[in-house]
Amino acid sequence: MNNTGKVTLVGAGPGDPELLTVKAVKAIQAATVLLVDDLVSADIVALAPATARIVYVGKRGGCKSTPQAFIEKLMLMAAREGENVVRLKGGDPFIFGRGGEEVEHLQAAGIEVQVINGITAGLAAVTSLGVPLTHRQHAHGVVFVTGHAKPGDAGTDWRALAETAFKAKLTLVIYMGVSGASRIQDELLVGLPSTTPVAVIQNASLPTQRHITTTLGRLSGAIEASGLASPSVIVVGDVISGVVAAAEHPAQFRAA
């Protein structure tokens, strides 16, 4: 008889528990073991059964984190013990959440894996400001990109991306980019005007959310002056010009 358990990678979204999908809530409530990322809110963890074993495996950009290999080992061990394992990840497991690596590792070991999507922080962040990521007049597409490269990796070619974004009218959503904002700004200015609107949103969807709006030419200075830090999302593009319009009519918009 095969007593092997299963693993479900659950996207916990940006933090607000009301933004969880119904499927995510059901998975959390059925878990016997939860491996929880650092950015998952306590209100979401509270949805787990009182009998569930909760293991915090904090992963936050710029801070000391639990090694990825150790997290994968924990998931594998628990599943082989017959547990119903939920890997609770901030945002979406497949958008800068290393979900792809975890699925590959577990499938190679013969473990059943399911993935439940969550609302990614980049989407929740701009929605909270009352603007879209795409707009027929301002943006024909959107690029999600990380500002944090793997050690030994050259990372994103920001100059090439800027040129493409300018020609194709794309919104850039930059995750984990605050610590490298000065370098990113300098590289993007090669292909984008200094007047390009930018928003930086910290703790999207949470009561502690803060944001600033500025221009690409003033980005690094504005971040320093505001004190915004990780976790923050940087959104670059003409859609951000709509933030001003939303601010002028606050009663007409409220993020759900």
Catalytic residues: 37, 59, 176
Q: Could you give the count of Cα atoms lying within 13 Å of 127 in the half-sphere of its Cβ? A: 13
- Cβ(19)–Cβ(120) below 8 Å: no
Q: What angle in degrees, to the nearest 10, is found between the helix axes of 181-188 and 219-226?
A: 160
SS3 211: strand
CA–CA distance, 165 with 141 (Å, rounded to integer) = 9
CA–CA distance, 254 with 195 (Å, rounded to integer) = 27
CA–CA distance, 15 with 18 (Å, rounded to integer) = 9
Which one-letter amino acid corresponds to residue 29? Q
